[in-house]
Structure 1
Amino acid sequence: MAALDIPDAQLPVHHPSSMPNTRAWVALGVLCFVYVLNFLDRQLLAILAKPIQDTLHLSDSQLGLIGGLYFALFYCFISIPIGWLADKTHRVGVLSLACAIWSAATMACGIATSYAQFAAARMTVGFGEAGGVPPSYAIISDYFPPSRRGTALGMYNLGPPIGAALGIAFGASIAAAFSWRYAFLILGGVGLLTAAAFTFIVREPPRGGLDHAVAKPAGSIVAATAGFLETLKMFFSRPVLLLASFGSGATQVITYGMGNFTTLFLMREKGMTLHQVALYYALVVAIGMGGGIFLSGRLVDRFTRRSKAAYGLLPAASLALAMPLYLGFVWAPGWSLSLLFLLGPMSLNYFYLTSSVTLVQQEVRPEQRVMSGALLLLIMNFIGLGLGPTYVGAASDYFRANHPTHSLQMALYTLVPFYILAIVLFLCLARVLRREGLTNKNGGTTP
């Protein structure tokens, strides 16, 4: 691909017969489990927002800052040097250490007695989780051939719905039976045990082993490592990568803004109890988000064989379908109808994830994958994770003066324009991809 600045003779040659072996599937399963813990620990604040708010006397704005901007500052920017380090060293080792850090910090949340202590612990969770996802994307891409990467990454991205569902089920149940503090302590302890066992189960795969043909022109050399500035310049010079990142960021304003306050919204304004949240909301997340992410991986592999424009068209179409159902979720007068509407957005809101991740992994050289994945996460999470919860929390406090019993409902309504923005950005991505495809077909070079 000319966009990668690789001579035509050195272009990757895909091997249709390359099938993932047992080791690849075991590695994928373990990486998915680590991602489950990653997302579970991250979502405990949102799941247990009501009892935490009551104990530590936090406002909606403070909850939004802890789950949004404060967390994102560490999670997003630390991921870049960690991604660069993982590209040059042992990715499995980096991931294991990161899991140990975020799990220990999760346990620290359970013993916090003030806003400052809790905020500091959550920032440390963000620091650890910054080293979780980018190395995993690259490891999976080196275990699975290009023709299977969409499905593999789609299965890996089941980590968030499984983690969120388990967090809702177990976190809410533990909090209802004992205390919200026990949920942080127990689940953080599971993460520490997993970190200790991880390096014994998952092996480091060869970088780019499934991308390049064995035969290369005499004297040709493909760099084994990519410089930090080289990868940075490459990423920000590619309209395709930037549009995927900003489209994903706009979508995450919705997913994180809604997700960090859904439990509080359902309990405070729809009348749900912790026991009902642990059962019914957990099922909605597991079925909706899990089904959507799994289906998106299969659709990405299927439709991008025909046209790369599908990387943009699939998330654009899914968000257009999700928007009216999201409005129904916010409007519904009772929690049961609200959850029924929520099934749609929970499924359709997450098509962007597998699409954007797969596109970035396909568009860059193997030695640039971890850092490129980290740059994707930096942009989309700093926008979505940093802005979404922070904005919704501040909006809720703003609306409380005139809508004291429905301030969160009013705040959630204001997320609708971000649907429109994300759809436009993904349609622009599809247009650029289609143009690049036509240019390549006519023998030209991509910009």
Structure 2
Amino acid sequence: MTTDQAAASAAPPALAARGGRYVWVVLALLCFVYVLNFLDRQLLSILAKPIQDELGITDGQIGRLGGLYFALFYCILGVPVAWLADRTNRVRVLTIACALWSAATIACGLARTYPQLAIARMSVGVGEAGGVPPSYSIISDYFPAERRGTALGLFNLGPPIGQALGVAFGAKIAAAYDWRLAFILLGVAGLIAAVAVLGIVREPRRGATDRKAAATPVPASAPVVAAAVVDGEATGFWATLRMFATQPTLALVSLAAAATQFVTYGTMGFTTLFLMREKAMTLDEIALWYALLLGIFVSAGIYLSGRLTDHYAARSPQVYGLLPGIALAVAVPFFIGFVHAPTWPVAMAFLIVPTFLNYFYLTPAVTLVQNSVSAHQRTLAGAVLLLIMNLIGLGLGPTWVGAVSDWLRPDHPVNSLQLAFYSLVPFYLIAIAFHLALARHLRSAAAR
């Protein structure tokens, strides 16, 4: 046993079961770090127009910067970082990761050419690879299974809050001063947050909130393990990847989430540019109206999906697939209305519904995976889930939209992004099909 593992074992049990206030402080701080994580990640798409104007880059290059280039490092390095976190001190891993991506964000603001900006974005991906999986695992050891969905739902408010603050903060700074200053200020805030994590968050004992169970593998047919295995050693990457390949629950939930992220990241990577270039919206208007829309409706969707999951999962496990599947089906016509709208106020009104419903997948997916593996597998299982989701969604979604826009622009110079957004509709249908397949599997497994 390593020194960090011994320290973790000796750490006091998580206080969530007793309603201690400290666990909520930890959750709030981890959520704040996730806000910065996502704000760093999305600032490029938010400031795409002024960056394009200064550096002279195309939609396809923007798509690769925020998609493929970032995702390759973010996803691939997330696995060894999670392997390390499952065997050492997760809080230290998170601290180092936060400091690294914040320094890389500052470098983005100092970049003078496209290659320099590309290298800086790859470095942001390297740092952010160590952000989310350790946080998932820490939260799962502070909150018991019956409250884990709500806790992870609150943690997953990080992306919408980060998006909203990024739009408001980034657009305002860029409009008043310069797009570079937004990157630099955000990087400095991240360095301060890294110090706060190291000083405040205590490493919890692994499996502290799980009911003690025999040290046996989780059955492949089990859709949800309410009391995950506490004993046993951390599982290696290849064994964890085999679990995702051989267990239908893990395979279906990861593919369903990946297909959904293809749509969400593809849309999010170009919405600001689309609204400014094709709907005549200004940076100041973006900073107010688009920021409010993201902050309110994405947050509401993620939080409500977590509460609904906790409420229905015990008696209806198919909710993990059915809830996001129905949400996406309702969102499709409103997404088409957003893309087709003649003016930005009409487009924003249509965008409210998909903004609310597109993220109903996230908390159920994370909760299902965390509940379906042992306590010593959670960080690596979370990393594999993110690997699959982000390689497909984050890596290919923005890359696809940017490439389609570049391809169509010679013949459709005025509305190439509008047509590229229409190409996301089939991916909505793929995501719905995967979620419904997951719901059918979970219902059958529960019946067995």
Under TM normalisation by the shorter chain, which class is it?
over 0.9
Q: Structure 1 216/244 Cα, relative in aligned 2: closer, same or farther at 3 Å? A: closer
Q: Structure 1 161/365 Cα, relative in aligned 2: closer, same or farther at 3 Å? A: same
Deviations 1:218-270 (A, max 9, x none): xx993143333332322322111111111111101110000010000000000
AA matched with 1:238: Q
Q: Paired residue for 1:241, among 250, 264, 284?
A: 250
C-alpha deviation, 1:214, in angstroms: 8.2
C-alpha deviation, 1:216, in angstroms: 9.1
Q: Structure 1 226/293 Cα, relative in aligned 2: closer, same or farther at 3 Å? A: same
Q: Structure 1 233/286 Cα, relative in aligned 2: closer, same or farther at 3 Å? A: same
Residue number in structure 2 paired with 1:3: none
Residue number in structure 2 paired with 1:413: 422
8 A Cα contact 2:215 2:232, kept in partner: no
Q: Paired residue for 2:369, among 360, 372, 377?
A: 360
How is 1:324-363 mapped onto 2 (pairs within 5 angstroms)?
A: 324-363=333-372
Residue number in structure 2 paired with 1:282: 291
> Could you list the runs of 5+ residues in structure 1 that have no partner in the other structure?
1-16, 440-447
AA matched with 2:267: M
Would you say 1:322 and 2:331 are equivalent positions?
yes
Deviations 1:251-305 (A, max 9, x none): 0111000001000000000001000000000001011111111111101101112
AA matched with 2:62: L
Residue number in structure 1 paired with 2:97: 98
Moved over 3 A (4+): 214-217
Deviations 1:334-354 (A, max 9, x none): 000101111111110000000
Deviations 1:110-157 (A, max 9, x none): 010000000000000011001000111111010001010110000000
Q: How far apart in 2 are the matches of 1:372 and 1:216?
A: 18
8 A Cα contact 2:306 2:363, kept in partner: yes
Secondary structure of the corresponding residue to residue 351 of structure 1: coil
How is 1:6-405 mapped onto 2 (pairs within 5 angstroms)?
A: 18-213=17-212, 222-405=231-414
AA matched with 1:234: M
RMSD, aligned CA: 1.7
8 A Cα contact 1:329 1:338, kept in partner: yes
Q: How far apart in 2 are the matches of 1:232 and 1:286?
A: 34
Q: How far apart in 1 are the matches of 2:364 and 2:91?
A: 24
Q: Structure 1 39/221 Cα, relative in aligned 2: closer, same or farther at 3 Å? A: closer
Deviations 1:13-35 (A, max 9, x none): xxxx9344211111100000000
TM-score, normalisation: structure 2: 0.92
* Count of residue pairs brought into register by the alignment: 422
Q: How far apart in 2 are the matches of 1:312 and 1:321?
A: 15
Secondary structure of the corresponding residue to residue 256 of structure 1: helix
Q: How far apart in 2 are the matches of 1:254 and 1:128?
A: 24
Secondary structure of the corresponding residue to residue 51 of structure 1: helix
8 A Cα contact 1:20 1:144, kept in partner: no
8 A Cα contact 1:19 1:144, kept in partner: no
Deviations 1:195-235 (A, max 9, x none): 12211111111111111338999xx9931433333323223
Q: Structure 1 302/59 Cα, relative in aligned 2: closer, same or farther at 3 Å? A: same
8 A Cα contact 2:327 2:357, kept in partner: yes
Deviations 1:52-85 (A, max 9, x none): 0111110000000101000010011100111111
Q: How far apart in 2 are the matches of 1:214 and 1:182?
A: 52
Q: How far apart in 1 are the matches of 2:250 and 2:353?
A: 28
Residue number in structure 2 paired with 1:443: none
Deviations 1:86-122 (A, max 9, x none): 0000001000100000000000000100000000000
Q: How far apart in 2 are the matches of 1:100 and 1:284?
A: 30
Deviations 1:310-345 (A, max 9, x none): 100011010001111100110100000101111111
Secondary structure of the corresponding residue to residue 143 of structure 1: coil
> Could you list the runs of 5+ residues in structure 2 that have no partner in the other structure?
1-15, 217-228
8 A Cα contact 2:213 2:230, kept in partner: no
TM-score, normalisation: structure 1: 0.92
AA matched with 1:75: Y
Secondary structure of the corresponding residue to residue 249 of structure 2: helix
